[in-house]
């Protein structure tokens, strides 16, 4: 039930009276009392002010009237946070224009004792971007950070996916109403993220994806986070909008360097040139966030025992989508075929042909024909070895018939 009277009043203002949240916030900043502000606008409504014709925040809303909206919110366990309540994200309150109302869903969404960090990047990411996103997200979440991102495909999706498996969990910030699954291919993520983390949005339920709403969402991503990690971004990218609003709000910016020839690195490199922290490891991030980590408010949620074993040098073998444990399962390689290192990695190859192919591979992609010539093997054997490596995430096919080494043995 929406118990608080003030939430009902605010819903009435934004839904029925079409009040602009920015107008609301302007008055709220002066009065500094939520209830008084709401009453002010309710009174003003009677005078037919021009303020009340904002269609942007509720165009063609699927909910017919306020009552059906309230019923819907109650039925679907959507919680409402207003700017004055204590569950409202602490950092978000401090930004220039915080949303007066937040709709959220999920278990840990209203926690305020964890450090939130945003991971953003392009939807159309490369293998490298995916790997970095998965690595950073999983490592940071293991330590106890909560990963905030935008629930889009590409970098966002991977960051969420990895984080919800770990301790810290993940929060997805939507650019639509909370009941809209956009993009639809993330529908499984919506269900999973609620279990460890949650989703959050400033838009009323039923608001469809609109181009103009996404930059507004980006300010919430950066606003509620202590820092923003930009993994891959083109020159004109939504990730850069997030980064810019983070700069405005004085958040830390971490940019991941990339290939200088790739379009997808241009945005990150521009950020580094402008003074963002060049980030190579989790340590780079932790150094900059020292103030937060030392803050007694947050220190409970951080567990540094996890980080000691996870220096990036030791962890080049981190594989996308597979934790180290299930990389080699019992039946796939026999004991006599292979020897394993402590962390479950393959140390020795089944036979000589495997090492021939392995030595041939590099971080520059090679075609099957090049590998055949380099290793001196026939096509049958080469395909077999390459498939073996692919299955064990040592090799990846990046473009058609271009194989590249992704892990070290």
Partner 1 sequence: MFFKLDSFSLIGIEAVKVGVEIYISRGMPSFIIVGLPDKSINEARDRVKASIINSGFTFPMRKIIINLSPADLKKEGSFYDLPIALAILVSSGQINDNYFNCSCFIGELSLDGLINPVRGILSMAQKAASIKKNYFFVPKGNENVAGLIKNIKIIGCHDLIECIKILESKEELKKYVYISKKFNGVHSRRYDIDFSEVKGQSRAKRAMEIASSGFHNLLIVGPPGSGKTLLAQRAITIMPDLNYDESIEVTKIYGLLKRPNCELIIERPFRNPHHTISEPGLIGGGIYPKPGEISLAHKGILFLDEFSEFPSKLLESLRQPIENKSIVITRNNTSYKFPCSFMLILAMNPCFCGYFGDKNDKCKCSKKEVERYWKKISGPILDRIDMQVNLPRLKEEEFFGNILTETSHAIKERVKKAFAIQNDRYKNDIIRHNSEAGASYINIWMNQNKDLGKIVTDLSKKTQLTARGISSLIKISRTIADLDNSDEITRDHLIEAFQYKILSI
In angstroms, the CA 216 to CA 197 distance is 21
Q: Which of 334, 336, 352, 363 binds partner 1 (CB under 8 A)?
A: 334
Q: Interface with partner 1 by CB under 8 A: which range of 21-29, 59-67, 156-164, 377-385? A: 377-385
Q: Least Å distance between CB 365 and partner 1?
A: 8
Quick check: 331 binds partner 1 (CB under 8 A)?
Answer: yes
How many chain residues interact with partner 1 (CB under 8 A)? 31
Q: Which of 76, 107, 339, 387 binds partner 1 (CB under 8 A)?
A: 387
Quick check: 367 binds partner 1 (CB under 8 A)?
Answer: yes
Residue number with CB closer to partner 1 (20 or 123): 123
What residues have CB less than 8 Å from 350, skipping those under 6 apart?
Answer: 333, 337, 338
Quick check: 391 binds partner 1 (CB under 8 A)?
Answer: yes
Residue 222, classed as helix, strand or coil, is: helix
Per-residue 3-state assignment (H helix, E strand, C coil) for 268-320: HHHHHHCCCEECCCHHHHHHHCHHHHHCHHHHCCCCCHHHHCCCHHHHCCCEC
Within 12-148, residue ranges assigned H as helices are 21-31, 34-45, 66-75, 90-93, 127-143
Query: Which strands form 79-82's sheet, in the order they lie side by side?
Result: 79-82, 101-106, 197-201, 170-173, 146-149, 116-120, 227-230, 252-255, 277-278
Q: Interface with partner 1 by CB under 8 A: which range of 54-62, 131-139, 162-170, 386-394? A: 386-394
Q: Least Å distance between CB 373 and partner 1?
A: 8
Q: Which two tokens stand for residue 172?
A: 């997805």
Q: Least Å distance between CB 255 and partner 1?
A: 22
What residues have CB less than 8 Å from 251, skipping those under 6 apart?
Answer: 222, 223, 225, 226, 227, 228
Quick check: 68 binds partner 1 (CB under 8 A)?
Answer: no
Quick check: 123 binds partner 1 (CB under 8 A)?
Answer: yes
Q: Least Å distance between CB 223 and partner 1?
A: 28
Quick check: 259 binds partner 1 (CB under 8 A)?
Answer: no
Characterise 229 by phi-psi region: left (phi > 0), alpha (psi -120 to 50), beta (else).
beta
Q: Interface with partner 1 by CB under 8 A: which range of 26-34, 112-120, 252-260, 399-407? A: 399-407
Q: Which of 5, 94, 303, 369 binds partner 1 (CB under 8 A)?
A: 369
What residues pair up with 119 in beta bridges, in sequence order?
229
Half-sphere exposure (CA, 13 Å, Cβ side) for 294? 5
Q: Least Å distance between CB 297 and partner 1?
A: 40
Residue number with CB closer to partner 1 (67 or 334): 334
Quick check: 388 binds partner 1 (CB under 8 A)?
Answer: yes
Quick check: 383 binds partner 1 (CB under 8 A)?
Answer: yes
Q: Which two tokens stand for residue 273?
A: 């040139």
Q: Which of 42, 181, 365, 374 binds partner 1 (CB under 8 A)?
A: 365
Would you call 226 exposed, middle or buried from its count of C-beta atoms within 10 A (0-12, 13-18, 19+)?
buried
Quick check: 324 binds partner 1 (CB under 8 A)?
Answer: no
Residue number with CB closer to partner 1 (276 or 361): 361
In angstroms, the CA 362 to CA 14 distance is 57
Per-position x/- string for 155-194, each x denoting binding to partner 1 as judged by CB under 8 A, each - no binding:
------------------------------x---------
In angstroms, the CA 272 to CA 79 distance is 39
Quick check: 355 binds partner 1 (CB under 8 A)?
Answer: no
Residue number with CB closer to partner 1 (283 or 369): 369
What residues have CB less than 8 Å from 238, skipping those under 6 apart?
Answer: 120, 150, 152, 214, 215, 218
| Sites of contact with partner 1 (CB under 8 A) | 123-124, 153-154, 185, 263, 329-332, 334, 365, 367-369, 372, 379-380, 382-384, 386-388, 390-391, 397, 399-402
């Amino acid at each position: 039930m929406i118990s608080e009277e003030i939430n009902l009043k605010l819903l009435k203002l934004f839904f029925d009276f079409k009040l602009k949240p920015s107008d609301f916030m302007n008055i709220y900043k002066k009065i500094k009392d939520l209830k008084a502000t709401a009453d002010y606008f309710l009174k003003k409504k009677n005078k037919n002010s021009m303020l009340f014709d904002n269609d942007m925040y509720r165009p063609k809303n699927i909910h017919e009237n306020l009552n059906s909206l309230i019923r819907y919110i109650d039925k679907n366990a959507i919680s409402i946070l207003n700017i004055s309540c204590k569950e409202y994200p602490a950092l978000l309150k401090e930004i220039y224009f915080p949303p007066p109302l937040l709709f959220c869903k999920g278990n840990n969404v209203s926690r305020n004792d964890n450090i939130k960090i945003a991971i953003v990047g392009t939807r159309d990411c490369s293998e490298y971007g995916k790997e970095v996103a998965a690595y950073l997200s999983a490592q940071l979440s293991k330590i106890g950070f909560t990963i905030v991102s935008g629930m889009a495909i590409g970098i966002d999706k991977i960051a969420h996916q990895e984080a919800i498996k770990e301790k810290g969990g993940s929060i997805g910030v939507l650019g639509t109403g909370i009941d809209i699954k956009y993009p639809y291919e993330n529908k499984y993520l919506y269900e999973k993220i609620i279990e460890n983390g949650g989703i959050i949005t400033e838009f009323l339920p039923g608001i469809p994806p609109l181009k103009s709403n996404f930059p507004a969402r980006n300010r919430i991503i950066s606003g509620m986070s202590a820092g923003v990690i930009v993994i891959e971004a083109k020159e004109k990218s939504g990730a850069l909008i997030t980064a810019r609003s983070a700069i405005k709000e004085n958040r830390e910016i971490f940019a991941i360097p990339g290939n200088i020839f790739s379009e997808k690195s241009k945005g990150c490199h521009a950020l580094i040139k402008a003074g963002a922290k060049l980030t190579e490891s989790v340590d780079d991030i932790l150094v900059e966030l020292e103030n937060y980590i030392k803050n007694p408010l947050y220190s409970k949620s951080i567990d540094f025992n996890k980080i000691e074993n996870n220096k990036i040098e030791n962890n080049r073998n981190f594989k996308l989508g597979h934790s180290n444990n299930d990389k080699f399962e019992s039946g796939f390689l026999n004991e006599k075929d292979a020897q394993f290192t402590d962390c479950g990695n393959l140390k020795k190859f089944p036979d000589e042909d495997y090492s021939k192919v392995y030595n041939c591979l590099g971080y520059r992609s090679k075609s099957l024909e090049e590998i055949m010539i380099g290793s001196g093997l026939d096509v049958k054997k080469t395909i077999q070895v390459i498939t073996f490596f692919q299955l064990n995430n040592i090799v990846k096919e990046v473009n058609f018939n271009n194989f590249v080494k992704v892990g070290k043995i």
